[in-house]
RNA sequence: GGCGACGUCGCCAAGUUGGCUAAGGCAAAGGUCUGCAAAACCUUUAUUCCCCGGUUCGAAUCCGGGCGUCGCCUCCA
């Protein structure tokens, strides 16, 4: 498998440190509010990637942190009038709800900052001992000038960074590039004991500490996150980790592209974000997953309602094939012209193509496209009877393996779907009566009345779908 | 200013370590089915890949120049 490695800016053959095992770490949320669709991208991408690794027989030790100690959490907790850890626990719960709706599986470990303070303190103390960090009035900073390779991940050089750096008044650090490993607590803030007094960890240190803690190794196979984390977050992780261990911190850096709105980056600070919670009101989680996975993970995606509507249409096309396969397989027999089928060769080719796409820097967009090609072949074979039961089972195996188990986009239920047919409320009962009347009118070939009912309901946003078994309705 | 990404059909999008007729989806058009629709299914839809020049037997893919869009350099997925 080839992966694009941010640090070397090219695709490289993926070889994990230990054969058959992948240690991967993905930056998790700072839990102080509900997540937006931009946050959902890495969740979905790396969830699917992890499932793919599992499918090719790797054991995956997948670590995602919850940042539950942070300035933003402290500020928000004052607003909401509850303790910071309580607030974080609340939003961890909300995060997990969204993750579940998006079919994102639980990580192997979800370490919290608040539960790893002793390890962090030890890490920081070790950096001071090595001359890579210094203490000022209870704060501890990483000393960038003593760490020569600084900038190697993000491709920046120290001089340029210094030239462009902002210098805040009253800063205690020696150089604007130095970053906080430990922050002295202000009065009344949540804090822990340390050799430097009461305080709490800086932002970057948690990932370094916890990734080593939960892999038991100085080196991760894969570290993932959004592109905006490359600098300074991941750069700083590299500096402190490699400064501490003198070993490569991460072998493969994977960074996902942004979600934009009107071509502008979606971010909390710009205020142009859409909450996952709100989008889920209008679209199933699988549609959101499809939307994300139908573009290569490193490219930007522009978010808008139209794009999700299109995703839903595409996905429903795949769903039709999935359902068709289920129905035909349940008949438990070969097609009438089973002898002339050419499905087995075609399916084998498709499977090869899918694997090739996923092996090449996890190209889910390309992999998905083969299911549309496959769908055409399958419906054609089913319509002409040129199929064997075994071929349909093979096809179903492929659809289920890749679209359900790995990508997690099938099966899905339309939010306002056919389950409304039996809606037990006044409106549902009234519509059922209208449908009975319409069926009666149509049976007497009184299409004028039948169409009137259909048109009027349609104007109300109720769509009638006629099938051989009768008429169904759903909200549009 | 420094670093980086991108520009492919009306829209979305793969291909970009050079080479079979430039994937796939949406939309559109035609058709099958249907009382008519809808849905579903079938068919069609880029001699051309932002522009100009170069390398090559051969370039969307490599090189040079230009235009345009976006991101990081400050909390951020």
CA A470 to C1' B34 (Å) is: 14
Nucleotide nearest to A466 (CA to C1'): B38
CA A373 to C1' B58 (Å) is: 30
CA A325 to C1' B41 (Å) is: 15
**Half-sphere exposure of residue A443: CA atoms within 13 angstroms, side-chain side:** 9
CATH 3.90.226.10 at A17-282, yes or no: no
DSSP per residue over A312-371, as a string? HHHHHHHHHHHHHHHHHHHTTS--TTGGG--HHHHHHHHHHHHHHHHHBT--HHHHHHHH
Nucleotide nearest to A307 (CA to C1'): B12
Segment A420-430, tens digit of pLDDT: 445 567 777 88
What pLDDT, on a 0 to 100 scale, did the predictor assign at position A13? 93
What pLDDT, on a 0 to 100 scale, did the predictor assign at position A458? 81
Window from A161-165, A181-185, A292-296, A390-394 with minimum mean pLDDT: A161-165
SS3 assignment, position A239? helix
Q: Read off the pLDDT band of A417 (50, 70, 90).
A: very low
Best CA proximity match to A476, nearest among A451, A455, A456, A459? A459
What pLDDT, on a 0 to 100 scale, did the predictor assign at position A161? 83
Is the pLDDT at A160 greater than 90, yes or no? no
CA A297 to C1' B9 (Å) is: 23
Is the pLDDT at A105 greater than 90, yes or no? yes
Nucleotides of B under 7 A from a protein CB: 1-6, 12-15, 17, 23-27, 34-43, 69-77
CA A211 to C1' B69 (Å) is: 37
State the residue for tokens 């072998």.
A251
CA A233 to C1' B27 (Å) is: 42
What pLDDT, on a 0 to 100 scale, did the predictor assign at position A421? 46
Residues counted in chain A: 476
Name the E strands within A29-174.
59-64, 133-136, 139-142
**Which residue approaches B2 most closely, CA to C1'?**
A160
Segment A425-448, tens digit of pLDDT: 777 788 888 888 998 899 888 888
Segment A349-397, tens digit of pLDDT: 999 999 999 999 999 999 999 999 999 999 999 999 999 999 999 999 9
Best CA proximity match to A290, nearest among A319, A263, A267? A319
**Which residue approaches B41 most closely, CA to C1'?**
A379
Domain spans, chain A: 17-282, 316-406, 418-475
SS3 assignment, position A373? helix
**Which residue approaches B38 most closely, CA to C1'?**
A465
DSSP A67: B
What pLDDT, on a 0 to 100 scale, did the predictor assign at position A98? 97
Segment A17-65, tens digit of pLDDT: 999 999 999 999 999 999 999 999 999 999 999 999 999 999 999 999 9
Q: Rg (Cα) of chain A, in Å, rounded?
A: 27
**Which residue approaches B12 most closely, CA to C1'?**
A307
Is the pLDDT at A8 greater than 80, yes or no? yes
Please answer whether residues A101 and A40 qualify as being in contact, where contact means their C-beta atoms are separated by less than 8 angstroms: no
A420 vs A457, more confident: A457
A425 vs A150, more confident: A150
Please answer whether residues A391 and A381 qualify as being in contact, where contact means their C-beta atoms are separated by less than 8 angstroms: yes
Is the pLDDT at A312 greater than 70, yes or no? yes
Share of chain A above pLDDT 90, in %: 75
On the question of a cis peptide bond just before residue A132, with omega within 30 degrees of 0, the verdict is: no
Q: Read off the pLDDT band of A167 (50, 70, 90).
A: low
Average pLDDT over residues A133-154: 93
Share of chain A above pLDDT 70, in %: 96
Element (H, E) at A179: strand A179-184
CA A330 to C1' B73 (Å) is: 59
Q: Read off the pLDDT band of A172 (50, 70, 90).
A: confident
Please answer whether residues A199 and A182 qualify as being in contact, where contact means their C-beta atoms are separated by less than 8 angstroms: yes
Please answer whether residues A302 and A261 qualify as being in contact, where contact means their C-beta atoms are separated by less than 8 angstroms: yes
């Amino acid at each position: 498998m080839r992966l694009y490695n941010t640090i070397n800016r090219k695709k490289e053959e993926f070889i994990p440190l230990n054969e058959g095992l992948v240690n991967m770490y993905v930056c998790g949320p700072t839990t102080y509010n509900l997540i937006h669709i931009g946050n959902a991208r890495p969740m979905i991408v790396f969830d699917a990637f992890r499932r793919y690794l599992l499918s090719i027989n790797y054991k995956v030790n997948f670590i995602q942190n919850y940042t539950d100690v942070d300035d933003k959490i402290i500020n928000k907790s004052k607003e909401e009038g509850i303790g910071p850890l309580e607030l974080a626990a609340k939003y961890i719960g909300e995060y997990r709800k969204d993750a579940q709706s998006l079919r994102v599986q639980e990580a192997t470990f979800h370490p919290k900052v608040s539960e790893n303070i002793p390890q962090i303190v030890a890490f920081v103390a070790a950096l001071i001992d090595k001359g890579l960090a210094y203490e000022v009035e209870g704060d501890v900073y990483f000393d960038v000038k003593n760490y020569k390779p600084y900038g190697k991940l993000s491709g920046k050089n120290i001089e340029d960074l210094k030239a462009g750096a902002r210098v805040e008044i009253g800063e205690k650090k020696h150089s604007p590039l130095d970053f906080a490993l430990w922050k002295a607590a202000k009065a009344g803030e949540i804090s822990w004991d340390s050799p430097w007094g009461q305080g709490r960890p800086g932002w970057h240190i948690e990932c370094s500490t916890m990734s080593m803690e939960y892999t038991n190794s100085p080196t991760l196979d894969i570290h993932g996150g959004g592109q905006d984390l490359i600098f300074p977050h991941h750069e700083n992780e590299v500096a402190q980790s490699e400064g501490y261990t003198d070993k490569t911190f991460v072998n493969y850096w994977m960074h996902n592209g942004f979600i934009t709105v009107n071509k502008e980056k979606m971010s909390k600070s710009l205020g142009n974000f859409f909450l996952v919670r709100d989008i889920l009101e209008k679209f199933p989680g699988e549609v959101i997953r499809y939307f994300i996975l139908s573009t290569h993970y490193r490219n930007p995606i522009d978010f808008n309602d139209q794009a999700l509507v299109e995703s839903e249409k595409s996905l429903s096309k795949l769903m039709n094939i999935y359902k068709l396969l289920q129905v035909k397989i349940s008949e438990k027999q070969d097609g009438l012209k089973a002898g002339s089928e050419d499905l087995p060769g075609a399916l084998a080719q498709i499977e090869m193509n899918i694997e090739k796409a996923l092996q090449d820097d996890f190209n889910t967009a390309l992999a998905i496209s083969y299911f549309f090609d496959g769908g055409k072949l399958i419906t054609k074979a089913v319509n002409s009877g040129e199929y064997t039961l075994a071929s349909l089972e093979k096809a179903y195996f492929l659809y289920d393996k890749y679209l359900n188990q790995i990508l997690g986009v099938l099966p899905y239920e339309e939010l306002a779907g056919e389950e409304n047919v039996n809606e037990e409320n006044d409106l549902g009962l009234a519509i059922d009566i209208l449908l009975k009347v319409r069926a009666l009118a149509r049976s007497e070939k009184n299409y004028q009345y039948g169409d009137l009912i259909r048109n009027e309901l349609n104007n109300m946003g109720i769509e009638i779908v006629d099938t051989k078994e009768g008429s169904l309705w759903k909200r549009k």
